[in-house]
Amino acid sequence: MHRILFLFLTVFFIASAEAAEVRSPEEYLGFPIGADRKLADYNEVMGYLDELAAGSPWVETETIGTTTLGRPFIMAVLSTPDNLSNLSRYKEISRKLADPRGLPAGEAEQLIKEGKTFVLITCNLHSTEIASAQAALELAYEIASGENDMARNALEETVLFLIPSLNPDGLQMVVDWYEKWVGTEYEGCEMPWLYHHYVGHDNNRDWFMVNLAETRAVFEVYFDTVIPHVVLDMHQMWSTGARLFLPQFYPPANVNVDPILYREIGLLGYAMQLECEERDLAGVISDAYFTAYWEGTSMMTPWWHNQVGLLSEAASCRVATPVYIDEVELEGGSKGFPRYEHRINFPNPWPGGWWRLRDIVDYELAIADGLLDCCARHNERFLRNFYAMGARAVAQGKNEPPYGFVIPAPQDDPVTAARMIEAFMLGGVEVHEAVKDFMIGNRLYRAGSYVIRLDQPYRAYAKDLLEVQEYPDIRASEKEDFVRPYDVTGWTLPMQMGIACEEIDEPFEAELRLLENYPYAEHALPRENENIWGFALDPRINASYAAAFALLENGHTVLRADEELALGEDALPAGALLVQSRKGLTDDARALSRDLHAIFHPVTGESAAAARRLKPVKTALFKPWRASMDEGWTRYLFDTHLVPYENVTNEQIKEGEIGDYDALVLADISPDIIKKGEWTGEYARFSRPMPPDYEGGIEDEGVENIKKFVAGGGTLICFGRSCDFAIEALELPVRNVLEKAGPDDFYAPGSILEVAFREGHPVTYGMAGKGHVFFTNSPAFATSLPFGKFDRSILAAYEKKNPLASGLLIGPERLYRRAALVEMTYDRGKVLLFGFRPQHRCQTAGTYKLIFNALLESGRK
Ligand SMILES: [Zn+2]
């Protein structure tokens, strides 16, 4: 009797502790996960996970940050109740294994035996790729309720960190938009704005510059608070190819990634494929589509940190609307998959038919289980390799060149240099400052120079971002097709940001201090007194412009010196910005100095005498309804540099509501989108109708109004492809020399090029004579001699036979002696043609000044 009672009590106890009172997603949401046309929004995702955490000892939730639009950014943590109660110990183990310096192998082995593999699954970074945010709820429920033995067993040896959406704002926007149109002819249509407030799909291109609030929060998880060993980022791709991509990736590979890492990517990729095959989920492909080379995405950044990064890409339905795919619509045609047919990397072709949200959820649940299972089976191995890769990195940095990189003092723009160092520190890289002058060979470096030593665990990351990229040509011969990169090919940060940086190829000694804080220098502001006329701001420093915009906006008197400005024993180059003392200036200057790190130099009235006064500038930024990421990045640049602006739409330009602005900015947007609001040519079949309020472009009326705007004294500023629009619309006597070049004649898919800037022009104030620009599908110009209402100034040109500085450039001769940046005068106004991307993904801080100058000078009528 006692025994029976005991058993009964035990069963009852287990039942209440484990099955607890957790509701299924269906009970919570009112529909099953993956049901046609049904989506959980972000509030429901948060609410449901919190409910699971309250009801189950297998689930916890935490807030890892705040999103761009102010939402809580959440992560669930799932493991056995025992593991969760020891989580801080396991985190400590991961932190110790990440840095083998001072951790002898014997001690490491103890930690490896004790530790657990940390698996981070991230979902829904791209908000329309929505299935994973839904699948996350079902996965968490299966674990909490005890329905999923495979995952529960695996969690004995692992801890699962689950971020249900890497872009919560976007998830909410996409669900709201989808629900608005469901049941109408626009069901599943594109949103007319980006699904991230600033950058849309480019939120997966921010993973070394760390501009966005969301990236920053996850960087803390990656390199500080959690330090996962395995990361899987779940995406969706186009509808008509394979059903699911899983690693291994397609060549080329990146030489800085540890070879063990690529093998682990393969092991886990194939384990997930096997799990799909065992569940008879057809159409899984590997070794195709996606390359393993470049920096910038959420799941690749871990590679240079000895952490496994994995990608899954499921075929999409139309948000939550099923699609029917005829078998003849299935197609290959990409890397590793020339035709849609049975292959070794595609042994179970999907035959076509209906494809629904639920199908994607099923594939994603399978790969989550397969991943956890394989990680658990190899728990010690993953931890041991994690430690070994870190140890190998440290040894390589000690024993082979490069030994480090020096960012020598002084820098033209010390604030931007500090921003670069901040990005490295966020990425877990140690940065030192020289306490005293030091020599390497016969080169003298001053105290205050920054040094990134490479004998550190994240050597690969620092090296890959600091060195010059050479895109590998992996063909057997030139007869084969060139393997096109997936994204950019050059990302060398000092070049993009205009920072001097030198590679050190011999062992060196220097007295160094490890930086604990980002090295933004504090500059004391002198008190106002009668001897000071006001302050000067250095035109080489981006923050000076941000300060000038803010001061103009606050009604201060801001002037510009067109000559060199003497400053005691020193001098500022032409273009210095001056602000005259008056009540309230010191407070404003102090705030700008604190928030933006702007540096104010006191000046006398004498030095200000020859300066000319600047007016506040009214800027319009065109925002098409076919949302543009480059427009979004421009907004990000303006918001972070205090440029006052307003967005203008097609309708406003058509109605002629741009006459009051000084400048109209067109980001890198295709002329078809500007004029008609739709793709033409080969992309036309991807254009789906928009709801009537968002259809069309600026049309002929808009073109006429832009002509009037410029003729009347406005400044039109065009980046990249919008230059082609301006050349045609205003019939400018300038030609894009790359317009007719085929992809085999000319190709520069995101490369850094060297240009010569023409000094002494207000738009190039603050720039050095030579510099770097970021070039991707950009134009280059042949100009004509002036006549009539036209004149031109070439402000930057390609003067080297091969201007490639980092990345890939096929056909350099087409750029030789061509213009990269042109200012055209047109009647009373001007057009600035940027034949490159001056604010690309807000990484190219080295060319921001050109934009700021163009804006400041547009106030000059
Ligand atoms: Zn994606």
For 77-113, how does the pLDDT look when each residue is reduced to its tens digit (9 = 90+)?
999 999 999 999 999 999 999 999 999 999 999 999 9
Q: Under a CB-based contact definition with an 8 Å cutoff, are residues 318 and 297 in contact? A: no
Nearest to 407 by CA among 398, 397, 418, 396: 418
User: Does 678 have pLDDT greater than 50?
Assistant: yes
pLDDT digits (tens, 9 = 90+) for 544-601: 999 999 999 999 999 999 999 998 889 999 999 999 999 889 899 999 999 999 999 9
Ligand 1 centroid–CA 360 distance in Å is 14
For residue 574, the SS3 value is coil
Ligand 1 centroid–CA 776 distance in Å is 21
Q: Which residues contact 605 (CB under 8 A, 6 or more apart)?
A: 533
> Both tokens of residue 512?
């160094």
pLDDT digits (tens, 9 = 90+) for 754-763: 999 999 999 9
Ligand 1 centroid–CA 149 distance in Å is 30
Ligand 1 centroid–CA 424 distance in Å is 25
Ligand 1 centroid–CA 86 distance in Å is 34
Bridge partners of residue 120, in order along the sequence: 161, 231
User: Does 846 have pLDDT greater than 60?
Assistant: yes
Ligand 1 centroid–CA 126 distance in Å is 5
User: What's the pLDDT at 642?
Assistant: 98
Ligand 1 centroid–CA 233 distance in Å is 9
Ligand 1 centroid–CA 329 distance in Å is 22
Mean pLDDT taken over the chain: 95
User: Does 791 have pLDDT greater than 90?
Assistant: yes
The reply to whether omega before 838 is within 30° of 0 (cis) is: no
DSSP 216: H
Ligand 1 centroid–CA 465 distance in Å is 23
For residue 14, the SS3 value is helix
pLDDT digits (tens, 9 = 90+) for 476-527: 998 988 899 999 999 999 999 999 999 999 999 999 999 999 999 887 776 6
pLDDT digits (tens, 9 = 90+) for 716-748: 999 999 999 999 999 999 999 999 999 889 999
User: Does 4 have pLDDT greater than 90?
Assistant: no
Q: Which residues contact 162 (CB under 8 A, 6 or more apart)?
A: 75, 76, 77, 78, 120, 121, 123, 136, 139, 140
User: Does 2 have pLDDT greater than 80?
Assistant: no
**Residue that wins the pLDDT comparison between 14 and 760:** 760
Ligand 1 centroid–CA 482 distance in Å is 25
Q: For each of the domains in the chain, give its residue range(s) and CATH number, in order of start.
A: 25-392 (3.40.630.10), 400-473+486-514 (no CATH), 534-613 (3.30.70), 619-858 (3.40.50.880)
Ligand 1 centroid–CA 141 distance in Å is 25
User: What's the pLDDT at 523?
Assistant: 79
Average pLDDT over residues 215-240: 98
Ligand 1 centroid–CA 365 distance in Å is 18
Average pLDDT over residues 802-831: 97
Average pLDDT over residues 289-316: 97
User: What's the pLDDT at 532?
Assistant: 85
pLDDT digits (tens, 9 = 90+) for 230-257: 999 999 999 999 999 999 999 999 999 9
Ligand 1 centroid–CA 201 distance in Å is 7
Ligand 1 centroid–CA 593 distance in Å is 39
Q: Under a CB-based contact definition with an 8 Å cutoff, are residues 253 and 261 in contact? A: no
Alpha helices in 677-734 (DSSP H): 699-711, 722-729
Helices and strands in the chain: count of H runs, count of E runs: 25, 38
Torsion of CA 268, 273, 274, 276, to 10 degrees: 130
Torsion of CA 428, 430, 431, 432, to 10 degrees: 160
Average pLDDT over residues 195-202: 98
Ligand 1 centroid–CA 247 distance in Å is 15
The reply to whether omega before 251 is within 30° of 0 (cis) is: no
Ligand 1 centroid–CA 314 distance in Å is 9
Ligand 1 centroid–CA 217 distance in Å is 19
Ligand 1 centroid–CA 31 distance in Å is 26
User: Does 303 have pLDDT greater than 60?
Assistant: yes
DSSP 792-857: EEEEEE--SSS-EEEB--B-GGGTTT-EEEEEEEETTEEEEEESS-TTGGGT-GGGHHHHHHHHHH
Ligand 1 centroid–CA 769 distance in Å is 40
439-445, Cβ contacts within 8 angstroms, sequence gap of 24 or more: 440/406, 440/504, 440/506, 440/508, 440/510, 441/506, 443/502, 445/406, 445/408, 445/409, 445/510
Ligand 1 centroid–CA 235 distance in Å is 4
pLDDT digits (tens, 9 = 90+) for 438-467: 999 999 999 999 999 999 999 999 999 999
Ligand 1 centroid–CA 271 distance in Å is 22
Ligand 1 centroid–CA 309 distance in Å is 15
| Ranges 177-181, 417-421, 681-685: which has the least confidence | 681-685
Ligand 1 centroid–CA 848 distance in Å is 28
> Both tokens of residue 691?
């709801």
pLDDT band at 861 (very low <50, low <70, confident <90, very high): low
The span from the CA of 785 to the CA of 380, in Å, is 71
> Both tokens of residue 100?
């083998």
